Structure formats: C-alpha cells, structure tokens
Chain A
Amino acid sequence: MIALENVSYSYKKWVGVTDVNLKIERGEFTYIIGPTGSGKTTLMRLIYMDLFPEKGRVLINGFDTNRLKNRHIPRIRKNIGMIFQSYNLLSDRDLFQNVALPLHVLGMKRSEIKEIVSEMLNEVGLYGKEDHYPEELSGGEQQRACVARALVKQPEIILADEPTGNLDPITAYDLLELLDTINGEGTAVFMASHNYTLIRDRGHRMVQIQEGKLRA
C-alpha cells in the first residue's frame, strides 16, 4: 500500500531522513518511534506528499513520486487521514463544520454529510458537541475531533504524528484505544511517537528511527 524505497531528504541545515526503506501493508498498525528531531515528521510529510524525496521514491496506491504530477496530490490525500499533535482544527468553525470539511471536498450532499458526521462524532464520543468551537473543547476532545475529521472520509490509512503529545496519560491511552478500534475496522494506522512507554505493550509493529535512519 505504502512503500518508501531508498528515500533520502535533507533540509538546509540538517538531515531529514537518509536511505529509508519501509513498507506499510493494508490494515496494518505501525508505530514509528524515535526522539524529537529524529525524522518522524519528515517521514510523515513524505508520505502525504508535503515533501518529495531527493533520492529514492515513495509509492502510494500505485502513485510514484518520481512520476507524480501536482494534480495527483489531492487524489492521494483523499485516501489519507491525518492527525497532528497540534490538532490543526479551524478555530472559526464549530465541531460539525470542522469534521464536515473533507466531505465537502468530496462533493457530498448536505443530507449525507449531516448523517455521516453525526455517526462519526458518535463513534469518537463527541456526539452532542456539534456546535462547540475548538476552544470550547478539552485537549482530548480536540484530538478526537481531529481523529473524526481524518476518519470521516473513510481513508485507507491514518497518519498520526505525535497525536498524544499534548494529552495527559489517561486521555492519551483513550486515544490509542480509539486508534486500535479504527484499525480493527480495517484502516491502516501509521503513528509517530517519542513515548516508548505508552506504546510498547500494544502489540503492534514498531519501527525505530534515529538521526534520520531506520533501525531494525
């Protein structure tokens, strides 16, 4: 489903990732663990085509970065749900509007959107808070809203970049449980974290990254 082949990317002043080879299969749950600045976010950005490899290639559902055209990027991203540490919710829209945004992009009808968003908010435990604005939600609720926004378009994979970074241990645990549930329904999850203690016993594949290089 996703393959990174000999991928290298460097920033002006530091190395992003070097010679990375990684495969993520359909429905798989993979953790990528490493300290801050080790290249986890760079890897995520390479997967969702925010960055392009200087060497090697990234393959996503048949799309190859070496032969990719700009107009293909939205199509690729429609199949990827993204969750960030900083939530990235739009502060001028309520919860419903935030979660509904990807469905408007897909061109769905209003009635369908209403139904799907309600179901999704129910699934992440935010039902009844549709008209709340992000600032009126707790950190955990905002992160669940972010999960709902990522999931609402039924992507094949969820990329979660340090999603527990701003959460207290209990809320972080709840979020991991939620991601497990999502994965159980067939969605692949690729999650970055620097908190080894939090994820070590969850029984999923774990990949380690350090100074831009993957370790066995």
Chain B
Amino acid sequence: MKTPLQSEPLLQTQPLLVAESLGKTVPGPDGELTLLEGIDFTLSPGQSVAITGPSGSGKSTLLGLLAGLDTPTSGQVLLEGKPFSQLDEDGRAIRRGQLCAFVFQHFHLVNDLNALENVMLPLELKGAANPKVTASHWLERVGLEHRLKHFPSTLSGGEQQRVALARAFAVQPRLLFADEPTGSLDHANGGRIGELLFDLNRETGTALVLVTHDEQLAGRCQRHLQLEEGRLFEKPEPGPVSTKEISARDAAP
C-alpha cells in the first residue's frame, strides 16, 4: 500500500470533510439494526481515500452519509467546517451541488440527454457561465470530442463512464465521491477509467472518496480505510500487522 501524502500546505488548511461519531441504524424485523457505528473520519482538501470492505459492510451507507444523500441517526458530518448532515434535504443538495461531484458504478447518465447535455447538467444546476464550452472542454479531455451528440444508449460502458467523469470534473468540485467507478466495466476498460480518474484527480487537486472492491484501485489512494461490520479501520500496510481502529484525531494528516 502506498504511503499517504501528507504535504505541508494541506496540514495548514481546514479539513474538507469531517465525520464525527457517525452512526446509522434502521428498523429491522428483530428491532433496530445497526449499519454503522462510531465512525470518525477526516478528509483534507486534495486528499484521496479509498474505502473498501466486504459486501454488506456498509460502504454505500457510509458514502451516502458523507455525501449528504442520507442522514445519520447519530453523530454529524461537517463540510468545509460547517454542519452538513443537519441541513435539510434541499440545503444538503444545494451545498453538494456547490462543492461535490459523483461518479457511480452504473454511470447514471440521463438517457434523454446527449453526452454534451449530460455534462452540462450539473454546470447549469450550479449556474455556471458558458456551460456548453466547459462541457465540450471536459468531454475533449476524456477523449470523447467526437461523441458530443451521442445519447447514452449509443455509447459503450467505458464511454458512458468517461462522460460521467467529465460530468464530475466539469464543475471543478472540491470533493469527488466515486462509488465503484470500475465495477460495471471489463478489466481493460476498468483500468483505463481508473487511470483517467486518478489523472484528473491529480490535475485538479480534487479530494476523492473512493468506494471500491478493487484493491489495486484502492491502492492508488493516499489512504485506505476498511469497513467491517459497520466500523471503520485504517487498512494496515501490507504485512502481518492487525488492523487498528482509527479515530478522527489520529487519522488526521
């Protein structure tokens, strides 16, 4: 596993994303079911972190809470030092639109919009100037300048994910959430998309929260966390060292 980058300038800035004692329970057939418990987590601007874990360990739930798609039953999430999880749904959506972007496993392009319009969509939601120019630029950047007017149904899986990447980076987010971005692609395409994701991430200095099964992809992140039975652990360096539960304080760069 790679050693996390801990550059000086990052140390001096405010954490971008903080999770404090985050917990999530849902009602189950035999009473409350705990999905996540006591999650403490801090992400600095520009930092990349991979979250891995077996199926059902709560990866998607955690990503949902961090991105404000869902609300925790205990604890809170802070975005740029401001309460995020306590905001109402619309408040979270607007804040997310200003600061964050997403890449999904199943691409989630709008079928009725062509590639260009799909990339323009978050720009327009944000009220950005010249969305068409920006969107064209980013599609060119991901190598799809010849596919601007194509609809998702006429694009391959790899191409669709590239449109999704262009859509994510076009808004110049401070934080990118990526949920299994290579999960629906074959090995070759998955590799290319992973490459592109980290290239763009590096170029733009966007912070990245990556949920993945792909150990290789996770290994390219500065930090690697593992979810087990609803609790978050720092993934140890390769070797016979047992996992150690982390806290917000000791995980901070």
Instruction: Say whether A associates with B.
Output: no
Using CB atoms and an 8 Å cutoff, list the residues of chain B in contact with chain A: none
Using CB atoms and an 8 Å cutoff, list the residues of chain A in contact with chain B: none
